[in-house]
Structure 1
Amino acid sequence: MTKPKIALIGTGGTIGSLGRGPFDIADYATLGKVMDAEQLLAYWPQVHEVAEVVAVKYAAVPSTALGPKEWLELVRLCDQVVAEIPNLDGIVITHGTATLEETAYFLSLTVKVEVPVVLVGAQRPSSGLSSDAGMNLANACRVAGDKRARGLGALVLLNDEIHAAREVTKTSTSRLQTFRSPDFGCLGHADADAIAWYRRPLRKLGRETEFDVRGLATLPRVDIVYCYAGADGAAVEAFIAAGAQGLVSAGFAPSFVTPALGEAMTAAMAAGTPIAASTRAGSGRMFYTTRMQEAGFLNADNLNPQKARILLMLGLTVTKDRAELNRIFAEY
């Protein structure tokens, strides 16, 4: 059987990290040893048993150092590797787990290549006893090489589970099963004998979307306002003063905010700043009540605040019209 050809783009993170010994699974980051894509493949040569892997150097940093600038670079890099590597079947991007879900969702909406893109991380460094890094990396290459993974947007692979970028989120600080899709579950599993698929995402993805960011140098600034008991409007005012073009409300479930915060948000929306209403609950749809509609909030549906921020950033690259932004939240 012919092995799939996979481009491995390394960004760093725990999956590429080395600690002081097999039991260093907490303080390894202070050592600063993070492998690039070539070094990671050399550390885990078993990956070559499941795929022909071509290493692509990009970065070797914690995912806390990755953001909109790097997202735009990764979109262009995906185009580049498909153009330059003949007969490529898929792309795997190694990534730290802190911001993996955000990078994945951004790429899911913006990458236009036809081959699958799979993001993979690890909860334990490669040097740790019982590390999940090697198996996750091998399984990500298997999934990226599976033709059934095409057209599903960017995927996330950890702990043998395949998740849609829109739905998945990190739910535990250190457990191996940290990545979950709370409302709908995973798309399938990377099992020992087969890649088993069970469902497909329905929202628009990748080549279907209206977002073409390949010529952009920056993205509109969007910030998240977290609601808590007694919250006032200070954060709203500060973010707008800092240049925010849009805001996301991480409200009480199902989407409410305190009276003082609501007043500040209503004033901001009246002055032209769009605000998408999400919730800090971690799962479930935002109820688009008459009160929320009349106040002018956008409906973030079941997107968590960090995903709603990404979609609003992308939406603002094509329109500032409130009705059109609501359409975007309904379609993506």
Structure 2
Amino acid sequence: MSKKKVAFIGTGGTIASIGVGPLDTVNYGANGRMMQADAILERFPEVQLVADVVAVPYRNVPSPQIAWTEWQQLVLLCDKVVAEDPAIAGIVIGHGTASLEETAFFLSLTAKVPVPIVVVGSQRPASALSTDAGLNLVNAVRVAASEEARGLGALVLLNDEIQAAREVTKTSTGRMQTFRSADFGVLGHADGDRLAWYRRPLRRLAPDTEFDIRGLAELPRVDVAYSYAGADGTAVRAFTAAGAKGIVVAGFAPGFVTPGDAAALAEARAAGVVVVQSTRAGSGRVFPTTKLGEAGFIPADNLTPQKARILLALALTVSSDPAEITRIFATY
């Protein structure tokens, strides 16, 4: 049987990095060497055993620098790749792990291509002894080429685990099992014999979403205010003064803030800022309590603050009505 065709877009990150030697697993970023997509494929030729993988030129960007500009470019690049080659069965995007979950979630809400998109990274640089870069890339290609991956939004693949972009988060700085889906677990595993699937996400996913960012000049400003003992609202007031259209609160679990932050958030609400209540816990829902409703805050469900920020920014491109944004958070 002929192999399927998969596009590989490289954006840099550890998976593209070359350290000073095989034992350089920590300070490789200082070496300043990152491979483009075609060089990564040449370094790991085994990817061609599982699919016909073609490199798509982009550029290398340290993942802490990836944000709106790169997200929009990637959505447009995915459009272009599929439009120019109908044989493309899936897309793999190489990415640094620092912000990988945010890029994946953005793509899961905004991409319009009908083929699977799999975002992949590694915890060890491509040059390191026992790097995970090669096998992660091979498995990402396998998932992107699979029929089962269609309709699941953007997926994340590291450590043999297939994760939903909405649910997965980085939980460890250096361990191989860093990406976890705390509330629900993996969608499946990329095992040596086959892809073993176990569940499907139920929330609304790309390409069938109401968000079309392809013609947008920018996203509305949304900031995250982190709760801690003694927080006095200074950060909230600064975000409001900076022109924030929305603020996501990384509150105490299950969804509280300090009196100082509560006062500042009330001022923000009076100024027309949309406030979404998340938590810093990393797991579990924020419940739609009477107190939350009286404050005019929208519950983030179980989204982490960084993902609630993305969804709120996209929601604000559709509506500024709190009731409508509440619906969006219950839908996605």
**TM-score bracket for this pair, using the shorter chain length:** over 0.9
Q: Distance in 2 between matches of 1:57 and 1:250?
A: 37
Q: CA deviation at 1:86?
A: 3.3
Q: Distance in 2 between matches of 1:8 and 1:76?
A: 15
Amino acid across the alignment from 1:95: H
Amino acid across the alignment from 1:52: D
Q: CA deviation at 1:157?
A: 0.2
Match of 2:58 in 1: 58
After superposition, residues 229-308 of structure 1 pair within 5 angstroms as: 229-308=229-308
Q: Distance in 2 between matches of 1:207 and 1:18?
A: 35
Q: How many residue pairs are counted as aligned between the two chains?
A: 332
After superposition, residues 126-145 of structure 1 pair within 5 angstroms as: 126-145=126-145
Partner-residue secondary structure (3-state), 2:230: coil
Q: Distance in 1 between matches of 2:276 and 2:73?
A: 26
**Paired residues of 1:8 and 1:92 also in contact (CA < 8 A):** yes
After superposition, residues 171-210 of structure 1 pair within 5 angstroms as: 171-210=171-210
Q: Distance in 1 between matches of 2:135 and 2:246?
A: 40
Amino acid across the alignment from 2:56: V
Q: Which moved more, 1:131-140 or 1:264-273?
A: 264-273
Do structure 1's residue 161 and structure 2's residue 158 form an aligned pair?
A: no
Q: Which moved more, 1:56-65 or 1:140-149?
A: 56-65
Partner-residue secondary structure (3-state), 1:206: coil
Partner-residue secondary structure (3-state), 1:208: coil
**Paired residues of 1:69 and 1:217 also in contact (CA < 8 A):** no
Q: CA deviation at 1:187?
A: 0.2
Q: CA deviation at 1:3?
A: 1.2
Amino acid across the alignment from 2:66: L
After superposition, residues 310-321 of structure 1 pair within 5 angstroms as: 310-321=310-321
Deviations 1:125-176 (A, max 9, x none): 0000100000000000000000110000000000000000000000000000
Q: CA deviation at 1:61?
A: 2.3
Name the TM-score, length of structure 1 as normaliser.
Answer: 0.99
Amino acid across the alignment from 1:109: L
Partner-residue secondary structure (3-state), 2:182: coil
Do structure 1's residue 225 and structure 2's residue 225 form an aligned pair?
A: yes
Q: Distance in 1 between matches of 2:28 and 2:155?
A: 27
Q: Distance in 2 between matches of 1:167 and 1:93?
A: 18
Q: Distance in 2 between matches of 1:160 and 1:62?
A: 24
Deviations 1:262-316 (A, max 9, x none): 1110121122100100000010001221001110001100000000000000000
After superposition, residues 2-17 of structure 1 pair within 5 angstroms as: 2-17=2-17
Q: CA deviation at 1:65?
A: 1.4
Q: Which moved more, 1:12-21 or 1:208-217?
A: 208-217
Q: Distance in 1 between matches of 2:47 and 2:217?
A: 35
The alignment's C-alpha RMSD in Å is 0.7
Q: Distance in 1 between matches of 2:9 and 2:308?
A: 26
Q: Which moved more, 1:188-197 or 1:57-66?
A: 57-66
Q: Distance in 2 between matches of 1:243 and 1:58?
A: 32
**Paired residues of 1:34 and 1:61 also in contact (CA < 8 A):** no
Name the TM-score, length of structure 2 as normaliser.
Answer: 0.99
Amino acid across the alignment from 1:148: E
Q: Distance in 1 between matches of 2:27 and 2:178?
A: 19
Q: Distance in 1 between matches of 2:137 and 2:196?
A: 17
Gaps (5+ residues) in structure 1? Answer: none
Amino acid across the alignment from 1:312: L
Amino acid across the alignment from 1:210: E
Amino acid across the alignment from 2:267: A
**Paired residues of 1:160 and 1:189 also in contact (CA < 8 A):** yes
Partner-residue secondary structure (3-state), 1:202: coil
**Paired residues of 1:104 and 1:165 also in contact (CA < 8 A):** yes
Q: Distance in 1 between matches of 2:108 and 2:315?
A: 14
**Paired residues of 1:118 and 1:144 also in contact (CA < 8 A):** yes
Q: Which moved more, 1:231-240 or 1:313-322?
A: 231-240
**Paired residues of 1:76 and 1:214 also in contact (CA < 8 A):** yes
**Paired residues of 1:25 and 1:128 also in contact (CA < 8 A):** yes
